[in-house]
Amino acid sequence: MQKVRLKWVKNRGLDHIITRTTNIRASCLLLDHLARLPSSSPVPARSLARLQKPLGLTVPVLRFLRRHPTLFAEAPHPRFPSLPSFSLTSASHLLLGRFARASAIDSHLRLARLLLLTRSKSLPLASILPLRFDLGLPYNFAAAFLASHPDLFAVSNNHISLSTSSRLLEDIAMSSLQRRNAEAIEGATYRALSRPPSSSSAPLAFPMRFPRGYGGMKKVKAWMEEFHRLPYISPYEDASGIDPESDIYEKRNIGLLHELLGLMVHKMVRRNAIRLLREELGLPHKFTRLFTRYPGVFYLSLKCKTTTVVLREGYERGKLVEQHPLAAVRDKVFYVMRTGVLYRGKGLSKLVLDEDGDEEGVMDGDEEFHGEGMDEDADVECFGMEIVDNEDSTDDEDDAGDMDD
């Protein structure tokens, strides 16, 4: 199959969302860390400084804590008054309770689907921990899921695996494209059924949202039509009998990454977290080229000093298309964070958080995301394209310059 390799295009809107989600991630992990500490006294900032890299922060932890006084209350240390220490505010405790309720909805199903995508239906706990925020898992998910769903999970030797005797596996082993296809067939119109299978709007076709200037190119359209004519293989099916060098296997990998990103609460994940799962998922060594080769499906970002992959179809005009309840709670965290930035010491008096989960004065989603660079088509730096034959061996080495693995 002849491929059109497109150069990377920057999307300011998605970059803004990644920056915002990175800050939310750091706040949520800090809240969880402080809540699990046994001592009731404030925690010295010095002991939290080592968490800067795991949190993904580009600023020192102390500066981040002081920037959000509505979440983290600063107080002198009981023994060393000159040592800044921090504890949780009342708003933080309220948000932690909401996190627990929202995470209990379907987090076990997300983990089960992730394990179903692997070859051995098992993963080391160390490989899942970097995805805990993205999947919405509780801190002690291994023990919690083993106690609440003993018929679904098994834990041994720091590995968590699926129980093959569970009847639930047959119900969840269906990709999002297949579920969408089943819904489309049930309520299909004559026009929808009359579309040819190669059509980009066919039910099992990957939704394509190309950067500005690419979607209308004839060569790109011809390439995508050829790509859609290849058979779709569910990522939950065994692909050991398929040639790893074939176009069908590449489409299978695209479907697998599409499903993997679809499992994430924010439809995005850091590339380093995928690298830990590469062998179990059956991905090639240089899997980053799959993201750069299909920019209509994925967006690769270099924001926040890391490489993040976003599922393009997951966002529409700066908002999640399908917002999980946990994502809604995290939006509340962002509201509390922004209130602290705007009002500093008076932030707590400006907050309106009740037990029912509604805030007065909280911004609507449209207001929150509007602004410079927040258009969904805000793509810049379009460098063009080149035609690459499938047999060309240089395709592996020339992958997107500094985005290569």
Written as one string, the DSSP assignment of 287-322 is THHHHHH-TTTEEEE-GGGS-EEEEGGGEETTEESS
- 19 lies in some domain: no
- 278 lies in some domain: no
- 155 lies in some domain: yes
- 145 lies in some domain: yes
Label residues 69-86 b or e (16+ Cβ within 10 Å = b). bbbbbeeebeeeeeebbb
- 119 lies in some domain: yes
Contact predicate 335/362, CB 8 Å? yes
310: closest CA among 279, 363, 266?
266
- Among 129-143, 165-179, 354-368, name the one with the lowest average pLDDT: 354-368
User: Can you tell me the distance from the alpha carbon of 172 to that of 161, in angstroms, rounded to the nearest whole number?
Assistant: 15
- Residue 40 token pair: 């009731």
What are 64-93's pLDDT values in tens digits? Answer: 999 999 999 998 887 888 889 999 999 999
- Among 169-183, 285-299, 350-364, 390-404, name the one with the lowest average pLDDT: 390-404
- 125 lies in some domain: yes
Average pLDDT over residues 141-156: 92
At residue 395, does pLDDT exceed 90?
no
- Among 226-235, 249-258, 368-377, name the one with the lowest average pLDDT: 368-377
* Tokens 């239906």, residue located: 121
Split into its structural domains, the chain has a count of 1
Q: What angle do CA 327, 237, 242 make, to 5 degrees?
A: 125
- 365 lies in some domain: no
User: Can you tell me the distance from the alpha carbon of 364 to that of 234, in angstroms, rounded to the nearest whole number?
Assistant: 37
At residue 132, does pLDDT exceed 60?
yes
* Tokens 């300011």, residue located: 12
At residue 396, does pLDDT exceed 90?
no
DSSP letter (8 states) at residue 400: S
How far the first Cα of the chain sits from its last, in Å, is 24
At residue 192, does pLDDT exceed 70?
no
Chain mean position to CA 52: 20
Segments forming the whole domain that contains residue 125: 104-170
Predicted local distance difference test score (pLDDT) of residue 66: 93
C-alpha distances in angstroms, 234 versus 97, 298, 333, 363? 37, 18, 36, 40
Q: Which of 180-194, 259-273, 332-346, 377-391 is the most confident on average?
A: 259-273
Q: Position 96: which residue type?
A: L
- Among 68-77, 289-298, 381-390, name the one with the lowest average pLDDT: 381-390
Beta bridge partners of 311: 298
Percentage of the chain exceeding pLDDT 70:
79
- Residue 38 token pair: 């046994």
Predicted local distance difference test score (pLDDT) of residue 392: 43
Average pLDDT over residues 214-231: 80
User: Can you tell me the distance from the alpha carbon of 281 to that of 64, in angstroms, rounded to the nearest whole number?
Assistant: 36
Contact predicate 146/199, CB 8 Å? no
Predicted local distance difference test score (pLDDT) of residue 1: 67
Average pLDDT over residues 177-187: 73
Task: List helix spans (H) across 149-287.
Answer: 168-172, 176-186, 190-193, 218-229, 247-263, 271-275, 278-281
- 41 lies in some domain: no
Average pLDDT over residues 358-362: 41
Label residues 209-228 b or e (16+ Cβ within 10 Å = b). bbbeebeeeeebbebbeebb
Q: Is 188 exposed, middle or buried (0-12, 13-18, 19+ CB in 10 A)?
A: middle
**pLDDT band, very low/low/confident/very high, at 5 (cuts 50, 70, 90):** low
Average pLDDT over residues 178-207: 63
* Tokens 């946990």, residue located: 326
Predicted local distance difference test score (pLDDT) of residue 109: 94
At residue 398, does pLDDT exceed 70?
no
C-alpha distances in angstroms, 109 versus 162, 242, 263, 310? 11, 28, 9, 21
Q: Which of 174-178, 208-212, 331-335 is the most confident on average?
A: 331-335
Predicted local distance difference test score (pLDDT) of residue 298: 94
Q: Give the chain's mean pLDDT.
A: 81
Q: Is 309 exposed, middle or buried (0-12, 13-18, 19+ CB in 10 A)?
A: buried
